[in-house]
Structure 1
Amino acid sequence: MLEIDGSFGEGGGQILRSSLTLSCLTGRGFRIRGIRAKRKNPGLQPQHLASVRVMKMLTNARVRGDYLGSTELAFEPGNVIEGDFSVDVGTAGSVTLIAMTAIPVMINRKISLRIRGGTDVPLSPPVDYMRLVLIPVLEKMGITGKIEVKRRGHYPEGGGEVVVYGFRGEPSDLVLSHFGELREIRGISHVTSLPSHIARRQVTGAMEVLKEFKVPVNIEEEITKEGSKGTGIVLAAYGSSVMGANSIGEIGVTAENVGRKAGTDLVRELKTGAGVDSHMGDMLVIFSAFANLEYSASFLTQHTETNIEVTRKFLGVDVTLEGKSPSRIRIRRK
């Protein structure tokens, strides 16, 4: 079994999630110690346990240490099982981080995964980022898939639900060295169980920032009454590649400022000229299990560095990493 130090790099849950994914892809078991050692509340929390449960179900894995607060885990996967699966985090824990753990293992397998928890919560990619940015980027390497939102879930109530399915394709090498010429910006401004005018005001704030770009901007307003209270906006810019940014509504922050933040963050990402944004920079690393990758990320993050080190352990890939902003990343399979 591979030995993983859960305290290296960013020392959070990403080390565990990446290890779970790569373990199930390669069939190699691992033991991780010091889970989330650098976090205020170390050890497995509900969101991380949900990721473990999902990957255990998908591979009929043998697992030890999968309980709340555990700082050690042993995971030995079996063969991947097809079928319809579901998991409920039980909190507002991010459904998208769980989905990202499972998606690589779902590719070209008849697997549908229903996840309940938080769809739009702090410190994780909102579900619309997955739909507007992640999936279009994966399509560039030949992978398609669907993420369907059944109900929105916000912090602290959670209660959201998504269905992840239909991931398939013939992955090919991916090269995204530059963003290229900006063609259009799309987005979704949503409000759930709150006054509908918030969605429009978020759009207004974003448009104040984005007006410098002389391209079509289409931001959809989504107003729903089902799901826990909350708001947010996701923006996606399309050129030769795709970049995204987002902002979640907060108490005491005006809707206009929520929109302005998303717009400002997107401008910041685009001005680097990189191929992908800082979040996609770390999300792509795992897909080197399928093909060679060569791309530039707007900013080098600790999550990216963490994913690179975990991937090296499981796959033995050759990695070239140059610069901080933009950061040029090349991952070659041996």
Structure 2
Amino acid sequence: MVAPFCKTPIESTLVGVSNVPHDPSVDMITQSWLPTYRISVGLSAGASTKIDIQKRGVYPGGGGEVLFSSRPCSGVVPVDKIDVGKVCRVRGIAWSCRVSSSYGQSLVSGAKSVLNQFLSDVYFTIDHRKGQYAGKSPGFGLTLWAERKDGGVYSAEAMSEPEGSDNVLMDAETIGKLAANRLLDQIYRGGFIDSGTQSLAFVLMACESGRNASRLAVGNLSEYSVCTLRLIQKFLGVTFNFQYQSQDNPIKLSEENVEENENETDIDSNSKMLIATCFGAGVQNINKS
């Protein structure tokens, strides 16, 4: 959040944990958060914002290394995203560190067994790390994101239990199925963004530079989003208004370039979605104004 308001461009190397079970991974931030961020900061600053995973670091040992680069902008622009398009493709990254490379194939197999029931445009990248690029702890996991025709993204992920955990261990194929089902749940919730990106979007809307109105369609609010809204009201004085709006059509998962009504499956999303509205606080980058 500081990057858009800096005086000079940022190019930083972040070290530590890149993948942990109960927090968004670097992959999810890259595939789901960055598209939302780019919409709010404009084309110039958004295009230069990049995240590159040099080394993965699984909890608890860490050892990851991520390169973050960004350019400042004059201010955050208003958004008006209340229409939800159709999901047209699913992509994913199956990663593994300090374990057999076969875990990646098992993750993909498990996810495809669920997702291929709805569409066939499902592709994965297998990222197997070893040696100095694999961090200090073993682990494996899968990050999925569903791309919509309107540019929106839903994301979900699942990974193995950390080394030394007392929780019940799951095999790679089961983790792949878990990630796929979590993605379907995000699609069912509806909205322009997934529940994990809500807090980022709300902060950006509240920081809009021209004190203009922003509107965003979201699904059911997560507990983290509710806490974020309270902090926004406390620190920026911005209050959000939420209204239910019925969705005319269910979200449809469809295959590109196929005959009409062939290989198409409807997933009934929430019958209602929330429209979040607020006026920006007028936060500006004084170095660019």
User: TM-score band, normalised by the shorter chain?
Assistant: 0.7 to 0.9
In the alignment, what sits opposite 1:305?
Answer: 226
Which residue in 2 is equivalent to 1:271? 188
The CA deviation at 1:111 is: 1.8
Distance across 2 between alignment mates of 1:109 and 1:124: 29
The alpha carbon displacement at 1:105 in A equals 4.5
| Cα distance, 1:210–1:320 mapped onto 2, change above 3 Å | same
- Give the AA of the match of 2:277: R
Contact 2:3 / 2:70 at 8 angstroms: preserved in 1?
Answer: no
Please say which of residues 208-217 and 252-261 is displaced more in the overlay: 208-217
Residue 262 of structure 2 corresponds to none
Distance 1:252-1:319 versus aligned 2 partners, 3 A rule? same
- 1:331 aligns to 2:230 (yes or no): no
Choose from 121, 145, 163 the match for 1:236.
Answer: 145
Contact 1:176–1:276 under 8 Å retained in 2:
no
User: How far has the Cα of 1:116 moved from its partner?
Assistant: 1.3
Provide the rounded CA distance (Å) in 1 between the counterparts of 2:117 and 2:86: 14
Query: 160, 172, 176: which is aligned to 2:81?
Result: 176
Secondary structure (helix, strand or coil) at the match of 1:318 reads coil
1:161 counterpart residue number: 65
Q: Give unmatched runs, 5+ long, in structure 1.
A: 1-100
Residue range with higher mean Cα deviation, 301-310 or 174-183: 174-183
Q: 1:309 to 1:109 in 2, by over 3 A?
A: farther
TM-score by length of 2: 0.74
| Percentage of identical aligned residues | 24
Query: Which residue number in structure 2 is paired with residue 57 of structure 1?
Result: none
Pairs aligned (count)? 233
Change (3 A) 1:179 1:235: farther
Name the structure 1 match of 2:159: 248
- The alpha-carbon distance between structure 1 residues 295 and 211, as it changes in their structure 2 partners (threshold 3 A), is same
Where relative contact order (Cα < 8 A, 6+ residues apart) is larger, the structure is: 2
Separation in structure 2 between the aligned mates of residue 207 and residue 179 of structure 1, nearest angstrom: 25
The answer to whether the 8 Å contact 2:5/2:73 transfers is no
Amino acid at match of 1:248: M
Q: Cα gap change, 1:102/1:149 in structure 2, threshold over 3 Å: closer, same or farther?
A: farther
* 1:121 match: 20
Opposite residue 274 of structure 1, the aligned amino acid is G
How far residue 260 of structure 1 moved from its aligned partner, in angstroms, is: 0.6
* Cα distance per residue 1:19-70 (max 9 Å; x no partner): xxxxxxxxxxxxxxxxxxxxxxxxxxxxxxxxxxxxxxxxxxxxxxxxxxxx
Label 1:182 to 1:192 Cα distance change in 2 as closer, same or farther (>3 A).
Answer: same
Residue of structure 1 equivalent to 2:113: 208
For 2:95 and 2:25, how far apart are their aligned partners in 1?
A: 11
Aligned residues of 1:179 and 1:242 also touching (Cα < 8 A): no
Change (3 A) 1:212 1:253: same
